[in-house]
Copies of this chain bind each other. A is one copy, B any other.
Amino acid sequence: MKRNVLIIGAGGVAHVAAHKCAQNNISLGDIHVASRTLGKCKAIVDSIREKGSQRGSGLLKAHQLDALDVEATKALIRSTGSQIVINVGSPFLNMSVMTACIETGAAYLDTAIHEDPDQVCEPPPWYANHEWKRRDACRAAGATAILGVGFDPGVVNAYGRFAMDAYFDEVESIDIIDINAGSHGRYFATNFDPEINFREFTSNVWSWEGGQWKSSRMFEHRKDWDLPVVGRSTAYLTGHDELHSMSKNLGVPNIRFWMGFGDHYINVFTVLNSLGLLSEKPVRTAEGLEVVPLKLVKAVLPDPASLAPTYIGKTCIGDLVKGTKNCRPREVLVYNVCDHKDCYEEVGSQAISYTAGVPVVAAAMLIANGVWDVRQMVNVEELDPKPFISLMNRMGLVTRVRDEQGDRVLDPYKESPATARSPKQVVDAPAV
């Protein structure tokens, strides 16, 4: 049983995570928010107070922290008595924050893979380049580290695992589909940090096909999907974090990630990328100033958090799983639909931040109550998905399933067979 949470970061996801921690602080204890810019942390604390999100008593406090400084992070973990660290800052911070957690024994959670500022799209599997190198250290320290537990990666990993357990004897393919059918009304904006958003698309696309990594170009493969609520949606094969652990842990031959893009997004992206304005490598102006183009593009684009007040429409994210059950082919879609306006009314954020921020807090609660406190490093598909899906159903992210029997809310304890099938390397988690 662990208590007291330190949230690192003060962007859109941190905002949602802090609100959700405050809503659940009877089990989570004190809530601390720390980032490079104290003012942004204070704004989050103020917004929690305004919304009255905090349920129980307990501290709610903002801190200034350079999370690349491991000693400073350790000191803050210790001084705040935090036993759970939710790292939702820049992905450039992951390894520093993880080190601080291992060395203090705090549980570590994040929602995106570590990135090296100078490297875009490292060789697959991406987790092996940074995070997995610390697996032995986590085990030796008995430190719990749950990697990539936002929505995608995170919930979609659990959906894949749950579908395998509950609905199939053999799974042939998992297609993860991420559609934002919402509208922010601006000329152009990204829904999360533009720097991180664009870095996903500026290099080649890795997908897992026939049990092997396959490389293609961005926007090379498009497909229209027929989805609940948002309807027929165009998505493009995209490289994404979860493929790099699910391919290793699930034994499924085909795992792909499809992201929806409108023609306008693609046009703006193509212009910027073709001109070299999305590069992470510095260029020198005629005046001799060294500038990383992507950082300037980030500076001129709207702050993703500023989109929330006028954002309308819905997201639909899920796993379309194909395989066989009792020797017959089967197709199941496990998914969530989230409404931008509802999210804004509840916590003051749009749905992209909300769908990433709620799962990581659900995971923190499962660590706090011991269910997911596995004292080692894992990716989400290695954990029992049932308590996670069940808890999120009560936290604002309702999972649904669509199969030959229709479309319904997914109650994982009703749908799941009594004895779960064990995919490779699944960690035994205590039952709820």
Contacts and interface: CB of A to CB of B under 8 A. Distances in A.
A202 to B, nearest CB: 14
12 contacts: A275-B300, A277-B277, A283-B299, A283-B300, A285-B292, A285-B298, A285-B299, A289-B289, A289-B291, A293-B296, A293-B300, A296-B296
Nearest to A295: B285
Contacts of A300: 275-277, 279, 283, 293
A159 to B, nearest CB: 34
A188 B295 contact: no
Contact of A188 (B274, B292, B301): B274
Contacts of A276: 300
B283 A291 contact: no
Interface residues of A, number: 27
Contacts of A272: 271, 275
Interface string A259-293: 00000000110011011110100011111010111
Interface in A344-397: none
Given A267-B267, A289-B291, A291-B291, A297 B274 contact: no
Contact of A296 (B187, B271, B285, B301): B285
Contact of A286 (B271, B293, B298): B298
Given A272-B275, A285-B291, A285-B298, 19 more contacts: A187-B274, A187-B275, A188-B275, A267-B271, A275-B297, A275-B300, A277-B277, A277-B296, A277-B300, A283-B296, A285-B292, A286-B295, A286-B299, A287-B295, A289-B289, A291-B296, A291-B299, A293-B296, A293-B300
Contacts of A286: 295, 298-299
Contacts of A277: 277, 296-297, 300
A296 B285 CA distance: 6
Contacts of A187: 274-275
A421 to B, nearest CB: 46
**In the A-B complex, the 6 residue pairs with the closest CB atoms:** A276-B300, A271-B271, A285-B299, A285-B295, A187-B274, A283-B299
